[in-house]
Amino acid sequence: MKQDVYQIEEIAPRTWRIDECGRDNCYLLCGDQRALLIDCSIGTGDLMGVVRALTDLPLTVAVTHAHGDHAGGGYQFGTIYVPRAETDRSWRGPNMRVFRKQLLSNRMKKSGITKKNVRGNNLKTNWLPFDDGAVFELGGRTVRTAAVPAHTIGGTVFFDEANRLCFLGDTVCPVLPMHTYRALPLQSFSDRSDRLTELLDGYTLFCGHGDGRVTHELVQKQIAWVREILAQYPANANKHGKKYYPAFDPDGCVGYDPANLYPAAKQKGWTIASWNSILHG
Ligand SMILES: [Zn+2]
C-alpha cells in the first residue's frame, strides 16, 4: 500500500512546511545557491524525494534538536547538522529504528503508516555539530541560529532575518513540551523567557508540530503559565508524571513533569513512556 506520508504547504516565497502525516513538521528554505531543510521528521516516507520535487539546489540539513521525530529522517541525507550539545552518543538512541517506531501517532496508523515505514540506520548518518549563532548562507538568504536550551539542552531556533520567519522546533509548540524525554527542568524555560521574547519579536513563528503556527500571544501566555506552575511548587515532586496547565488543550497549554521543575543533583531516569509523549496525538 502506498501512503502519502508528507503534505506540503508553501508558507512564504521559496519556503515550505513539510508535514509528516500530522505528526511533525520540517521546513524547506531555498536561496539562490543552496537549500536548507530544518528538521527531517521520523523519516517514515521518502522525505528526500519530497525535497527533490521542490528543489534541485545543493541541500543542507540541520535539526533544531535531536529527538527522533526531528532528526530521525537523517538517514536519508547522509550528513545532518545537529546542535553540538546533542551530538554525543546518548542522543543517537532516540533516533534508532526501535525507538522511532514508538513515535508513530494514532493518525499515522489510521493513514496506514506502520512500523515497516520506519526505516534507516541513523548510526550511519554523519552528525556534524553546529553552535549557537551558526549561520547557514543560502545565497541571497541567510539563516541564523540561536540556542534556547529548555525543551532539550541543545534546543535551537532558526531565524530567516530578511524575511522575518522563525522556526522554533519544539522550543515553543501549542502544547509546550516540557514534559518530554530529556526536557530540561521547567525553570529553564522561565529563565530564558525574556531572551525568547526578545529573539522572537517581529517574526512570524513556525513550530515542529500541529499546523506549525504559533502566535506571540500564545508564547506570552505560556511564559505566564510556566511562572504560575513554578509558583505553585516549592520543590520537585518525588514522582515523575505528565501534567498540563491550566488544563490539556491542543491549542495552548504547558506540558510539564512535577519531578522536573528545578535543577536536581541527579536527574531521575527516563522511561519509554515518558518519551512516548502527548506529541504523538
Ligand atoms: Zn522534541
Is pLDDT at 280 greater than 50 in this prediction?
A: no
| Beta strand spans in the chain (E) | 6-12, 15-20, 25-30, 35-38, 59-62, 79-83, 126-130, 135-137, 142-147, 156-160, 165-167, 175-178, 204-206, 213-214, 243-245, 253-256
70 CA distance to ligand 1 middle (Å): 7
40 CA distance to ligand 1 middle (Å): 12
CATH number for the domain that contains residue 65: 3.60.15.10
Residue 188 belongs to some domain of the structure: yes
Span 10-20, average pLDDT: 98
Residue 72 belongs to some domain of the structure: yes
Is pLDDT at 274 greater than 80 in this prediction?
A: no
Give the CA distances from residue 137 to residues 143, 168, 249, 274, in Å, rounded to whole numbers and listed in that order. Answer: 6, 19, 38, 37
140 CA distance to ligand 1 middle (Å): 30
Q: 177 with 183: CB under 8 angstroms? A: yes
215 CA distance to ligand 1 middle (Å): 19
CA atoms within 13 A on the CB side of 62: 29
116 CA distance to ligand 1 middle (Å): 23
163 CA distance to ligand 1 middle (Å): 25
Is pLDDT at 271 greater than 80 in this prediction?
A: no
pTM, entire model = 0.94
Surrounding ion ligand 1 within 5 Å at CB are 67, 170
Residue 195 belongs to some domain of the structure: yes
Span 130-148, average pLDDT: 98
- pLDDT tens digits along 224-260: 999 999 999 999 999 889 999 999 999 999 999 999 9
32 CA distance to ligand 1 middle (Å): 30
170 CA distance to ligand 1 middle (Å): 5
212 CA distance to ligand 1 middle (Å): 14
20 CA distance to ligand 1 middle (Å): 15
242 CA distance to ligand 1 middle (Å): 15
Q: 77 with 31: CB under 8 angstroms? A: no
182 CA distance to ligand 1 middle (Å): 9
Residue 78 belongs to some domain of the structure: yes
Q: What is the pLDDT of residue 264?
A: 83
C-alpha cell at 205: 513563528
Residue 107 belongs to some domain of the structure: yes
69 CA distance to ligand 1 middle (Å): 7
- pLDDT tens digits along 49-97: 999 999 999 999 999 999 999 999 999 999 999 999 999 989 998 899 9
Span 209-219, average pLDDT: 98
Domain count for the chain, please give it.
Answer: 1
Q: What is the pLDDT of residue 4?
A: 83
Residue 252 belongs to some domain of the structure: yes
Span 207-230, average pLDDT: 98
Owning domain of residue 263: 6-277
Is pLDDT at 267 greater than 70 in this prediction?
A: no
Q: What is the pLDDT of residue 279?
A: 42
Residue 228 belongs to some domain of the structure: yes
Residue 1 belongs to some domain of the structure: no
Is pLDDT at 281 greater than 50 in this prediction?
A: no
